[in-house]
Amino acid sequence: MRKGLFALAAVSLLATGSIAACGDDSGSDSGSTGGGSAAAGKVGIILPDTKSSQRWGTDDPKFLKAAFDAAGVPVEIQNAQGDKTQFQTIADGMISSGVAVLMIVNLDSGTGKAVLEKAKKAGIATIDYDRLTLSGGADYYVSFDNVAVGKLQGEGLVKCLEEKKYTKPVVAELNGSPTDNNATLFAQGYDSILDPKYADGTFTKGPNQDVPDWDNAQAGTIFEQMLTSNKNIKGVLAANDGLGNAAITVLKKNQLNGQVPVTGQDATVQGLQNILAGDQCMTVYKAIKKEADAAADLAVALAKKQKPTTATGTTKDPESGADVPSVLLEPQSITKENVKDVIADGFVTKDAVCTADFAKACTDAGIS
Ligand code: BGC
């Protein structure tokens, strides 16, 4: 512990020449064993909420912790529970405890930027994890190719609607949060597939709405209104599995589930079960383990005051114009045929997906 604190203080001094003391860092791991040439400071990570997607409460913390544990680098992972004030409070605490690296998934670019700027002033290296903070100036960005995610969703919906053989089906779009840059990129991707179909009359453009904060409950209300005012909706581009499930729940109430293809994202247990049941057309699997590992590789180097060598390209911040060194991973489209791939990759277990209600569907889908 003493060695860890000393290393932390030394790192902080190196970084800024002056910085707050380590504080009452009671919950921290005992010391940094490093493993590389330099001892590592602590890495602080703030995740956004636990309701907009299964991933933030379950998958990301699990894979991130495993990656830092394997590298022997102390990490503190907290979740802001969808509360921007709490997000800032957690950040303040981490900054004053002297973390060497701060990694965030912003709740919106405004609060994200404020936090990143504070960290920078304190000489702390910063990483945008999954969501780019616009004009945030993070040192690194790790995510998936989010336009590609949207394209897979658009292409998936086109395929499912072709199979239904509807004439000029009305397509509704349930977009993600307007304050999440990823939601903008997803929409850019799926609209690049759907817009030409609206233009040439293959599909009919239906209602299109953003879901604030990716709030699944609100998505249900929004979709209910969409369906009430447009009973003819035949396809739903939903930006993630949570929004998709909200639409499916409304479709079920109207005995329309299975007839109206719905898309998703995140390969959640619920999304995969909806696919197996025939109620959801597809989801997008993003290997969170790879994302967590890539982010940890950068953070570990930074925590050891080494220059990371693992960024593979840059991402242009559309607001500031800055080129942010990045790692962007490839997403994968999942339909009934390859649900088994997600299980084989160890992201979800067969037991979680193939509960009694889905046993037959699992067998039919080749999940043994
Ligand atoms: C993430 C998605 C997630 C959504 C809601 C996006 O920024 O990329 O994986 O479903 O936020 O949390």
Q: Does ligand 1 come within 6 angstroms of the Cβ of 265?
A: yes
Whole-angstrom CA distances from 321 to 116, 327, 335 are 17, 18, 37
User: Per-residue pLDDT tens for 225-274?
Assistant: 999 999 999 999 999 999 999 999 999 999 999 999 999 999 999 999 99
* Residue 286 Cα: closest atom of ligand 1: 9
Q: In one letter, which amino acid is 271?
A: G
* Residue 56 Cα: closest atom of ligand 1: 12
Q: Does pLDDT of 33 surpass 70?
A: no
* CA distance linking residue 37 with residue 304, whole number of Å: 8
Percent of the chain with pLDDT over 90: 89
Dihedral sign, CA of 240, 245, 250, 254? positive
Q: How far is the CA of 130 from the centre of ligand 1 (A)?
A: 8
For residue 135, count other CB atoms closer than 10 A to its CB. 17
Q: Whose CA is nearest to atom 9 of ligand 1?
A: 266
User: Per-residue pLDDT tens for 95-121?
Assistant: 999 999 999 999 999 999 999 999 999
Instruction: Give the pLDDT score at 17.
Output: 32
Percent of the chain with pLDDT over 70: 90
Q: Tokens representing 365?
A: 């889908």
Q: Does ligand 1 come within 6 angstroms of the Cβ of 180?
A: yes
* Residue 144 Cα: closest atom of ligand 1: 8
- Ligand 1: residue of 109, 240, 286 to mutate (most ligand atoms within 8 A of CB) is 240
For residue 300, count other CB atoms closer than 10 A to its CB. 25
User: Per-residue pLDDT tens for 306-332?
Assistant: 999 999 999 999 999 999 999 999 999
Q: How far is the CA of 181 from the centre of ligand 1 (A)?
A: 10
Q: Write down the H helix ranges in the chain.
A: 2-16, 54-57, 59-71, 84-96, 109-121, 146-164, 181-199, 216-229, 241-253, 269-276, 288-303, 339-344, 350-353, 359-364
Q: For tokens 């990301």, what's the residue?
A: 60
For residue 21, count other CB atoms closer than 10 A to its CB. 13
- Output the CA angle 251-249-368, nearest 5 degrees: 105
Q: Does ligand 1 come within 6 angstroms of the Cβ of 291?
A: no
